[in-house]
Chains A and B, each alone.
Chain A
């Protein structure tokens, strides 16, 4: 886990990591969230609905932004204050995605940062975009 302080941060500072979204994660999220929509947990249903396979919950994938800021950028000193998310393409079961975030604004008065983040699939297509606000303790 990273542990950057506010003074360590700079505009353009970034972090990335990869994660495979597997069936165990999807089923676990369905249980935790209560979202048991068959599009997420039934591959036959998903295919009959015109998709190539089960679609991972958008909120499961976007939960990776929590790891991005809480573990990587800035890491331990992070307090997530706000996030806006746009879903543009589906993430399918067993897709490996890249989570990427970059600091776009720093406010010394509030020890706060804004981070633009994306989740992309193996074809480098952006599936999710987020704007994240954090306070650095």
Chain B
């Protein structure tokens, strides 16, 4: 069973890859307003990378209201620990 810390660490690597920034460090409060390049296309790249990494699939209604990294991590945890 994955912990929220495991998922957050994996997500941090995904953020670093998608934004080509090896120093990027996210936390549960990080939101699009904290990362200048986090626009709608980046959101798709992030969530698709998470789908591949965690071997899950999101539904559109699950992701359209996500507000920050913490909500993404919570959603991933529900899916991977089902």
Contact = CB atoms under 8 A, between A and B. Distances in A.
Interface of A: 81-82, 105, 107-110, 112, 114, 133, 135
Interface of B: 41, 44-45, 47-48, 51-52, 57-60, 62-63
B33 to A, nearest CB: 21
- Which applies to chain A's interface (DSSP): helix, strand, loop or mixed? strand
Nearest to A113: B48
Contacts of B57: 107-109
A81 B52 contact: no
A22 B45 CA distance: 35
B48 A114 contact: yes
Contacts of B59: 108-109
A20 to B, nearest CB: 34
B63 A82 contact: no
Contacts of A105: 48, 51-52
Contacts of A81: 41, 44-45
A133 B45 contact: yes
Contacts of A107: 44, 47-48, 51, 57-58
B44 A135 contact: yes
A81 B45 CA distance: 9
* Residue of A81, A108, A109, A112 most packed against chain B (CB within 10 A): A109
7 contacts: A81-B44, A82-B41, A108-B57, A109-B57, A109-B58, A109-B60, A110-B44
